[in-house]
Structure 1
Amino acid sequence: MTTTESGARARTRREIVSAAVVALAQDPGASLADVAAAAQVSRTTVHRYFGERSELLAAVTVAVMDEILAATRRAGLDRGPAQDALARLCREYFELGPALTLLFSGIVEIREEDWACMDEDAGRGLSDTVARGQADGSIGADLTSAWIEHLLWTVLYAAWSFARERDVPRHEALDLCLLSLRKAISP
């Protein structure tokens, strides 16, 4: 096998997983044939990479985790005022779109130990950001970091589902999300 073939194989696998994220977000019951159609490959090709739906879902879970971690890094939680950093994080997460749908709907379940691994890299930044905001008085001192993280995910879910279910423009839903988070965590 040549390097080009390996690169093409990896690219096809990524395209199948990306198509699966979108297809499953639109229809949780999407079959491997539906994913193949979305990826514009044959069903046989999908089966070559993923023999069973569970294997594809495992790859989708890893892809969603990677997206969350990359979004957390892009938010730059260590830069600027704490409330601004949390707003950047919400904006980054909100843009995950179909990945959020899979996470919020339970199609993708990230195990506690996987969250713990991600926390090593990204979650500590959230705790540090909250502590920084509490130290400068911009975040309520009576709120724990764990509570603020849970709250962040909750308002993101509310905004994302509000935009989808009510056909509200995404930017309006995101504005409501940011306003709600800012009010909830202020001292």
Structure 2
Amino acid sequence: MTSNRDAVLAAAQRTLNVDPGASVADIAQAAGVSRATVHRHFESREALLVELGTRSLDQWEQRMDAGDLEAVAASGDAARIRALLEALVRGYVEDADTYGFALTDHVILANADLVARTERLADRETGLFVAAQAAGVLSPALPGRWFGHAVYGLLVAGREAVRLGDVAPREAADLVLTTLFSGITAPSSTAPSSTAPSSTAPGAPA
């Protein structure tokens, strides 16, 4: 039987994903309980958000543990590394549907304990990205830590695209993976030049 606390957390997830600015009253109404009941379990809206942020980090950690991340990274096996990256990203897209608001909520992003734990988990994940670079799965030309930021940005983009109806939910994971592994340029395109564009006006002599 679902407890009031679990009902409040589930309602908060649903409500905040639709309206990140939802109040305690909004969450209580969605849970079918009073504001007093919400405050009996969480002393403030911030405490409720921190609990949800903790759960989102728990899920991130569980996915890395389930994939035996460190062992796969240490193997140096390109096929295993790519397979794990794909599995993780697909899982992250799924989690973004549940905890999407946590990706950008300022209370969660400013909480010192959550920030510290996020850094530790990001360090673990970066180990896999670095191993992927060494195995030829990801480009060695970029900083290893950059890939985590790129995935984060793609998760936010994917979630927004689904919310706005620009892509179907079932397409999100494939789009994120394609963008991560192949980018958005045509295969024949080259990397951007580091040379500043010419200021010569069109038609003017060189």
2:35 is matched with 43
Distance in 2, Cα, partners of 1:56 & 1:135 = 41
1:148-177: CA deviation from partner (whole Å, max 9, x where unpaired): 111111112112211111252112122111
Paired letter, 2:17: A
Paired residue for 1:109? 109
Identity %: 29
Moved more, 69-78 or 33-42: 69-78
Q: Distance in 1 between matches of 2:161 and 2:67?
A: 23
Instruction: Show the counterpart of 1:89.
Output: 88
146-155 or 66-75, larger mean C-alpha shift: 66-75
* Distance in 1 separating the partners of 2:36 and 2:129: 49
Aligned 1:170-181 pairs, distance under 5 A:
170-181=169-180
Q: 1:154 to 1:22 in 2, by over 3 A?
A: same
SS at match of 2:164: helix
TM-score of the two chains, using structure 1 as the length reference: 0.78
User: Is the 1:83–1:182 contact (alpha carbons within 8 Å) kept by the matching residues of 2?
Assistant: no
2:50–2:111 Cα contact (<8 Å) kept? no
Question: Is 1:100 aligned with 2:100?
Answer: yes
- Name whichever of 141-150 and 76-85 sits farther off: 76-85
Kindly state the Cα deviation for residue 178 of structure 1 after the two structures are TM-superposed.
0.5
Taking only aligned residues, the RMSD between alpha carbons, in angstroms, comes to 2.6
Partner of 2:130: 131
Q: Which runs of 5+ in 2 are unaligned?
A: 73-78, 184-206
Distance 1:94 1:107 in 2: 22
Instruction: Indicate the SS of the match to 1:145.
Output: coil
Which structure has greater helix proportion? 1
Task: Report 1:5-84 matches (<5 A).
Answer: 11-77=3-69, 78-79=71-72, 81-84=80-83
